[in-house]
Chains A and B, each alone.
Chain A
Amino acid sequence: MIRKHENSDSWKAGIYAIVVHLALLAGMLISFNWKAAHPVLNVTEVELWDKLPAAKPVIKEEPKPEPKPEIKEEPKPEPKPVVEEKPKPEEPKVDIELEKKKKELEQKEKLLEEKRRKDEALEKLKQEAREDELREKKAAEKAKHDEALRKLKEDMLNESGADDTKAASAANASLIGEYTEKIKAKIRGNVNKTLCGDGNPELRFEISVLPTGQLSGSPRLIKSSDNSTCDEAVERAIIASEPLPLPDEPNLKAQFKNLKLKFRPND
């Protein structure tokens, strides 16, 4: 293997060879990102989820600032004059200082009690006002939701799906709509949009979701986007999105047995 005249170099050369290999190994370990790029998928998921809950905070923020100014203006002017009028006529009637003091104490207690009562009344008023407002808001929101849902339903559940949803109440329908949107958002996060080209293809899938959120069977393509790679990309995204988000009520879960989803991946 090694010639006689090479003996003097062999040790040095061996060490160099090992150093070269270690350097290559280190270079590979440093220069490559050996972690798979899956975090990218999760990031898109988070971004898309942000849109949905945005509807709720808007409801909570609006009622708080409005009721307070309204309530404070109305009740405060009323109670204050009442408090000041009552004690003044009573003071001059009393002669003895002790009695004065006693009465003063009593008056103070009365004042405190009255204040308490007024506060309670105030709070009741406030709460009522708040509840009224909330009720109105909720009703308005529900009306909006229902209308949006009706439109959605008309769009998405043209044929057989409409029968199922007719049976469900309006509240249930809103929940179903909400979760349908959630399911679509989750799937949308997993779609590889580059596979769907530049246009705005539309495709429809029918899926049946088990109560666990798992799919039963594979998604059925109802309307293709005329682009088989795009169809496959969406199908893979649907499978990758398991478990799908479902409402907690068991009777609502049954509504997702036959779910028709419409996708526009490039929206």
Chain B
Amino acid sequence: MSTEQRALPSSDPSRRDFFKIGLVASAGLTLAALVPSALAATGDPTKSAPVFEPNAFVRISEDNTVTVMCKHTEMGQGTYTGLPTIVAEELDADWSQIRAEGAPANAKLYNNLFWGKAQGTGGSSAIANSFAQLRQAGATARAMLIAAAAKQWNVAADSISVAKGVVLHKASGKKATFGSLAKLAATMPVPTDVKFKDPKQYVYVGKKVPRTDSVAKTSGSAIFTQDLKLPGMLTALVAHPPRFGAKVKTFDPTKAKAVRGVVAVVAIPTGVAVVAKDFWSAKKGRDALTVEWDESQATKTSSAELITQYRALAQTPGAVAKKVGDAASTLAKCTKRVDAEFEFPFLAHASMEPLNCVVQISKDGCEVWNGEQNQTGDQFAISAALGIRPDQVKLNQLFVGGSFGRRANPKSDYLLEAVSIAKAINQGATAGVPVKMLWTREDDMAGGYYRPLYVHRISAGVDAQGKPLAWQQRIVGQSIAAGTPFEPMMVQNGVDVTSVEGAANLPYAIPNLQVELHSPRVGIPIQWWRSVGSTHTAFSTETIMDDLAKLAGKDPVAFRTELLAKFPRHLSVMKLAADKAGWGKPLAPGKPGERRGRGIAVHESFNTFVAQVAEVTVASDGSFTVDRVVCAVDCGIIINPDVVVAQMEGGIGYGLSAALSGSITLTDGVVDQSNFHDYPVLRLPEMPKVEVHTVASTENPTGVGEPATPVIAPAVGNALFAATGKRLRKLPFQTSELKA
């Protein structure tokens, strides 16, 4: 991440300094008293301030609570359970005394170790980058508690044991809780060489522990940004232009201002904000507003036009992302070959909580309450917008009602919009008033920052024995990293690695492989979407593998097996999924007129290996159901098996939603979809049965938030092919092509 190369804050304030800033900023508004209950945290607040803070991650209070400061966002993927599990394990805490709390923005303490000096959550990295760090944090705290007990009881430290939150000297029978030792432990020297547990001794890692956020999220008490209420807070809705790149020309606020509850109507760089005492007033105000837009710089392209352009580009050489051997000349010699084009639409993230953000500007800086995913980048962007230092931007972490990548916007788009509203009203009676910007579902759906539209072209061939010889792939689609702070890290030699991941690292033994990329510049805002490049590369590559198996006259699993000798982790998940699914055994027949089929796909993303076998039933009219999905995953050491299973289930559902019906289209630059009626998403009746199997491993843990998502579309597509003999290469699947 290129924020590394930027100057870091001259002083990275500790949490206490941040707290002081907060107190100053909120003087007179009694904010400070409200803030703790609004922070993303699980369990009851501690009755007393922590007295033992051996490091940035562990806080122990005299009431015996262990608070684990979670540097990664909880947006459903289970970080507030997984990160504390690692600490609890090495600390030998009792799970009931653990609570999770969202860490403040402080890149010095809470940077993502995979992102250099920046704090943020993405790339399925939370557990992977935290594993060693949190083992260290837990083990250090444990050693200091033991040292405290040894001093108090005047016994040797190595005669003391810890289990389930109890510190015990077996010989004398002396026992103590963490809380009772906390004050003394804080005075002990911090050890530098703690020993980690033997994994055989694990009591939490690899076992089911309850999610820390289940109670708050089933009682309606979890506070999301949408729910935050601050004293004097106003609510803002923004009228956005109908086309990306348009600006406000003129606007007439008269009717909007006449709506009861509307306080202000202000122009901001991204549109016109209607600021009111509550949502409904703001909504009615916005409905009454008239705006004339300057569309001279607006994008007026259409999806259909882009697809035509991209298909033409796919016929021409692009920037080379991977070159092994000579794919082009070998293809000419292949006895049998497949030449195919794939189409992928723009996709909205469509999280359940539409985008929103709360901002308050004061003379001391800017305070933000948000489901925050890109702390350091957002601090820089906001500080630049306001002409203040990054450390004057205080970010308060709230629960996140889904993100799937959207809240880690490399341009900080929605945060800057909220900041611009707070800035615009920072005068007169509304000076310094906190403002909650809410996007409606329609704003969110048409707001851009989509998974880009892509076209792939693949030519691949096998020899007379059915052995693949050559594979040439061209990918066409906007670069996600270009023009963002991530560009220097992610774009190399004209290739955005996020556009070709999953294709340029094709695991199969194919002696001649070439992957090329075109990254046309189009004025549609785009962004990463759960599993990023793999959202499209897994589908095209695993579909072609199925085609090649057919050309070779081989079973899809047997065919892949021959080509994965050097990739044992791909191989093991594929075999596990195939075995558990009963691959090779006939499927139970459907009702008369129904066609049934089974398909497999295997794919690695974010160093996690996933294979899925899907079973489908296709009706004579082409409509189909996905009945069952058997999923195998290898994510290294499994911290929380139940969370891994949940992420596989959810990832499959999210990917299936896109494969069945996800499509954002543009006509003359206007987004055609607006809500769930025209952007249908997966509903409960469409959810298949899912069985998840995990591979036991001693490798370092890797992420599970994303890797299930890209595998389902090719598994289903291959199952549809098995059922019908018809090959679908365009997402979402067009059922009309499957008519009997």
**Do the two chains belong together in a single complex?**
no
